Amino acid sequence: MPPVIDLEKCIGCGICEECMADVIYMKEVDGKKIPYLKYPDECWHCGACRQDCPVEAITIRFPPEMLII
Ligand code: SF4
Ligand code: SF4
């Protein structure tokens, strides 16, 4: 499951575009840079984007099989 990005909180800094799995890219919409999920199925659920986002706009969603202990 890909992360969820709250575009109301996002300030368009582009830090999450550093995703090592190439999930997140930036695009420009109406003169504003916003992140989008280009390859949502490639997410490793590493949490780096959530941790690095300066405004806590990203939520990681774990698939059910990762939550079973
Ligand atoms: S959780 Fe990790 S792999 Fe998934 S989008 Fe964020 S940085 Fe990329
Ligand atoms: S790191 Fe956070 S604030 Fe920066 S572009 Fe990504 S979602 Fe937006």
Instruction: Please give the chain's pLDDT, 69 residues, in tens.
Output: 899 999 999 999 999 999 999 999 999 999 999 999 999 999 999 999 999 999 999 999 998 888 887
- The closest alpha carbon to 58, from 67, 68, 66, 46, belongs to 46
Torsion 2-47-60-49 (CA) sign: negative
Which residue range forms the structural domain that includes residue 47?
4-67
SS3 61: coil
Domains: count for the chain? 1
Residue 37 Cα to ligand 1 midpoint, Å, equals 10
pTM of the model: 0.92
Cα–Cα distance, 40 to 30 (Å, whole number): 23
- The per-residue pLDDT for 69 is 75
Residue 19 in contact with ligand 2 by CB distance below 6 A: no
Q: What is the CATH number of the domain that holds 24?
A: 3.30.70.20
- The closest alpha carbon to 54, from 22, 11, 6, 18, belongs to 11
Residue 31 Cα to ligand 1 midpoint, Å, equals 25
- The per-residue pLDDT for 38 is 97
